[in-house]
Amino acid sequence: MAVWIQAQQLQGDALHQMQSLYGQHFPIEVRHYLSQWIEGQLWDAVDLENPQEEFKAKRLLDGLIQELQNKAEHQVGEDGFLLKIKLGHYANQLKSTYDRCPLELVRCIKHILYTEQRLVREATNSTSPLGTMMDSMSQKYQQINQAFEELRMFTQDTENDLRKLQHNQEYFIIQYQESLRIQAQLSSLATLPPADRQLREPSLLSKRATVEAWLTREANTLQKYRLDLAEKHQKTLQLLRKQQTVILDDELIQWKRRQQLAGNGGPPEGGLDILQSWCEKLAETIWQNRQQIRRAEHLRQQLPIPGPIEDLLNELNSTITDIISALVTSTFIIEKQPPQVLKTQTKFAATVRLLVGGKLNVHMNPPQVKATIISEQQAKALLKNENTRNESSGDILNNNCVMEYHQTTSTLSAHFRNMSLKRIKRSDRRGAESVTEEKFTILFESQFSIGGNELVFQVKTLSLPVVVIVHGSQDNNATATVLWDNAFAEPGRVPFLVPDKVLWPQLCEAINIKYKSEVQSNRGLSEENLVFLAQKAFSSSSNNPEDYRNMTMTWSQFNRESLPGRNFTFWQWFDGVMELTKKHLKQHWNDGAILGFVNMQQAQDMLMSKPNGTFLLRFSDSEIGGITIAWVAENPNKAGERMVWNLMPYTTKDFTIRSLADRISDLNHLLFLYPDRSKDEVFSKYYTPPLSKAVDGYVKPQIKQVVPDFATANPDPTGLNQTYMDHGASPAPVSHQHAYGIYPPMSDTVLDPDGDFDLDDTMDVARHVEELLRRPVDSQWGGQQS
């Protein structure tokens, strides 16, 4: 199926070449609907030049037609009705076309697959990581489907042997009844006259001897048949275990890992359709073999013959029960995880699914699923099978749901749509651990039976770790806990242990994935960005990425200890950058207009070699979720001296008043975006259009931004009133010391030159004071801005 998935992505001439492979001889719809089956068959194992191989080709043709017919039978609804007719028609068409020459079908499909693989390889370049990964995936799928084909043949073989055994045993019983009849006749001779007895007895004794000899031989033969059948079942179960391990312990665990990484913004984990089809094939094969073993046991009970077969059958029955138990309990999974940062009194949803529910007819008596929130300690006890006495760590409303069967998709699932965490019971915290570091999990559990109550299962599954918050202000730190857990959790861990420290490159990968996801951008963090972050995280000045390759970062450094000289952690600063970019700067980041991860000193070094009016945008070092403009200009206080200025950082509050693009437009002293692009070339498409003319005598005011000492005449082309916001600028002196954000002195008077009261100036002062009052006192008057 992997090849077909890639083939559908072909474009242009490659797509036309692929489409031309199909027609009346082999419809493209057959390739589409049977893609997984087709790619799983051993077409290359058939030698087209050897007529003796025709039986293999005939088996492949019969299998193809059977798969088409099965696919057709499962179509329901209005759309399914037409597809059902079409697939049935294709089955008949292929049978009539290739029934007398099945090798031609193999030749046709081999050509199609070879050409598709070549086209895909040329399009994706098989040397690329993507091409290599897809080739590997295709090979893995082929191995899995090949193993299923072997299991099908093994199961068919034991079915034939079982029927032969049953037939021989039935004949044995008939002969045994004949021996009993002869014995009865011999016994009745005692009532006959001696002459008659002597006449008939030799014949009956001869018959009895012949039958008993046959019975003795046949009993040994039956015993051998039984032992041979049991040995074949042992081999089948060994292959079943191996195949189940590949699917459950490799493929399903990898899907769960992808689901966990998707919680950090990684690629979607992918659908469950292929996994479900594999699990259903496992269930079907297991159940067929279980039924065969039970029939063999019934034959043994019907005709007990002394020997080791009884113990062998008991062992087989125990093994097959273990295999099906592992399959059922492992395929009860969470398709849609609950939110990992869970706020109390807030509605949330989740979906659980039983991948083998349809195949095992669990939906005939739909089970109910219950959701409970439990602590990390309770989860540990649960996995150790310790008695938790149905304890929970909180109350969830609407926490019961009946599983529903969807016939069109053959899925059995329970959709919890309106759950709400009413209250949470916290445990005693360890050391410096905060409430946003405490992990919980949602336990989903159910009970159902299969095979007419033959087997009863209690199934349980745990969600990914959940951090419970009661206020939005805790979201930032809770997200850090989830990010660290999702990124660095190891398979099969004890809930919910994670390493306390990780290599810096590992953390870089995690935060880069998170950043691209949050900002919804293909532009991730560059190597220069990551060096900047390393400098911030480790208080280092090295610009060499290699210096950080083997450095480790602890959880405390990530989100427990404040950065030097700051009152926030590394994660809190980084999360603030993501939030600001996501809400207000997404387009500019995608355009490459924001350098962002540059400190004040680096900005100065970059700008001093550029013409006056060159500016860049960088994230503030001193304020969470702040971005500042740095530009080079003449020093107004010293002729001939150039210096770099830094505007007081903008935050979300500022951009809710006026956008970044409009603010840059307002500042006429900003001319070129670093290194040398005209600012209008970069930002003009985001400028707010000029206001319309006055209507009904009213003039609508317009807000503009100014920076004192850099304000220049800027006539309003619209002729409308403008309201100006001033914004403090701080120079970056050559001494490279941090500079305080300063405001120029206010106007000395609100009177005009004639001594009259000036309303406009007074309104400007009032707005200025109002703007000051909106800003945090500490950051404006007591803290350094950078």
The three state secondary structure string of 192-228 is: CCHHHHHHHHHHHHHHHHHHHHHHHHHHHHHHHHHHH
The pLDDT tens digits of the residues spanning 105-134 come to: 998 998 898 888 888 877 776 445 555 555
Residue 669 neighbours by CB under 8 Å, 6+ apart: 613, 631, 633, 707, 710, 712
Residue 642 neighbours by CB under 8 Å, 6+ apart: 608, 612, 632, 633, 634, 635
Query: Is-contact 204 186, C-beta < 8 A?
Result: yes
3-class SS string, 111-130? HHHHHHHHHHHHHHCCCCHH
The pLDDT tens digits of the residues spanning 345-382 come to: 999 999 999 999 888 888 788 899 999 999 999 999 88
Which of 103-117, 233-247, 382-396 is least confident?
382-396
The pLDDT tens digits of the residues spanning 45-85 come to: 788 877 888 888 898 999 999 988 888 887 776 667 888 88
Helices (H) and strands (E) in the chain, counts: 25, 21
Q: What pLDDT sits at residue 769?
A: 47
**Where do the H-state alpha helices sit in 608-726?**
652-657, 660-666, 679-683
Q: What pLDDT sits at residue 182?
A: 87
User: Rounded to whole angstroms, what are the CA distances from 495 to 52, 188, 197, 380?
Assistant: 58, 78, 85, 6
Q: What is the CATH number that goes with domain 340-471+480-485?
A: 2.60.40.630
Pairing of strands 411-424, 347-354: antiparallel
Closest by CA position to 603, among listed 628, 579, 622, 626: 628
Q: What pLDDT sits at residue 198?
A: 81
Query: Is-contact 333 353, C-beta < 8 A?
Result: yes
Statement: residue 43 has pLDDT above 60: yes
Query: Is-contact 564 535, C-beta < 8 A?
Result: no
Query: Is-contact 523 590, C-beta < 8 A?
Result: yes
3-state secondary structure of 557: helix
Closest by CA position to 293, among listed 266, 257, 273, 321: 321
Residue 706 neighbours by CB under 8 Å, 6+ apart: 666, 667, 724, 725, 726, 727
Statement: residue 774 has pLDDT above 60: no
Query: Is-contact 330 252, C-beta < 8 A?
Result: yes
What is the Cα–Cα distance from 669 to 634, expressed in whole angstroms? 11
Confidence of residue 752 (pLDDT cuts 50, 70, 90): very low
Closest by CA position to 686, among listed 653, 660, 706: 660
The pLDDT tens digits of the residues spanning 531-545 come to: 999 999 999 989 999
Superfamily of domain 3-126: STAT transcription factor, N-terminal domain (1.10.532.10)
What is the Cα–Cα distance from 392 to 422, expressed in whole angstroms? 13
Q: What pLDDT sits at residue 135?
A: 59
What pTM did the predictor assign?
0.72
What is the Cα–Cα distance from 429 to 655, expressed in whole angstroms? 39
What is the Cα–Cα distance from 238 to 776, expressed in whole angstroms? 69
Residue 326 neighbours by CB under 8 Å, 6+ apart: 244, 248
**Bridge partner residues of 333 (DSSP):** 353
* Cα Rg, the chain, nearest whole Å: 39
Residue with tokens 């409308």: 720
Q: What pLDDT sits at residue 716?
A: 46
Q: Which two tokens stand for residue 706?
A: 């100014």
Q: What pLDDT sits at residue 759?
A: 47
Of 383 and 721, the one with more pLDDT: 383
Count of CB atoms situated within 10 Å of the CB of 189: 17
Residue 425 neighbours by CB under 8 Å, 6+ apart: 375, 392, 393, 394
Count of CB atoms situated within 10 Å of the CB of 167: 10
> Above pLDDT 70, what percent of the chain?
86
Closest by CA position to 95, among listed 26, 47, 1, 22: 26
Q: What pLDDT sits at residue 531?
A: 94
Q: Which two tokens stand for residue 349?
A: 């949803």
> Above pLDDT 90, what percent of the chain?
49
Q: What pLDDT sits at residue 384?
A: 83
Write out the residue limits of the CATH 2.60.40.630 domain(s) in the chain: 340-471+480-485
Residue 22: HSE in the Cβ half-sphere, 13 Å Cα cutoff: 13
Q: Which two tokens stand for residue 126?
A: 């098989």
Q: What pLDDT sits at residue 13?
A: 77
**Where do the H-state alpha helices sit in 41-128?**
54-73, 77-98, 102-124
Statement: residue 740 has pLDDT above 60: no
Cα dihedral sign, 175-177-180-186: negative
Which of 237-241, 578-582, 724-728 is least confident?
724-728
- According to CATH, the topology of domain 131-326 is Glutathione S-transferase Yfyf (Class Pi); Chain A, domain 2 (1.20.1050)
Average pLDDT value for residue range 728-738:
45
- According to CATH, the topology of domain 503-686 is SHC Adaptor Protein (3.30.505)
Question: Furthest-apart CA pair in the chain: how many Å?
Answer: 163
Write out the residue limits of the CATH 3.30.505.10 domain(s) in the chain: 503-686
**Bridge partner residues of 757 (DSSP):** 751
Identify the helix (H) or strand (E) that includes residue 469. strand 467-469
Q: What pLDDT sits at residue 156?
A: 93
Q: What pLDDT sits at residue 285?
A: 95
Write out the residue limits of the CATH 1.10.532.10 domain(s) in the chain: 3-126
Cis amide prior to 51 (ω within 30 degrees): no
Q: What pLDDT sits at residue 779?
A: 40
Of 452 and 779, the one with more pLDDT: 452
Q: What pLDDT sits at residue 785?
A: 56
What is the Cα–Cα distance from 513 to 482, expressed in whole angstroms? 14
Cα dihedral sign, 131-135-137-141: positive
Phi, psi of 450 (to 5 degrees): -135, 160
Closest by CA position to 332, among listed 349, 359, 353: 353
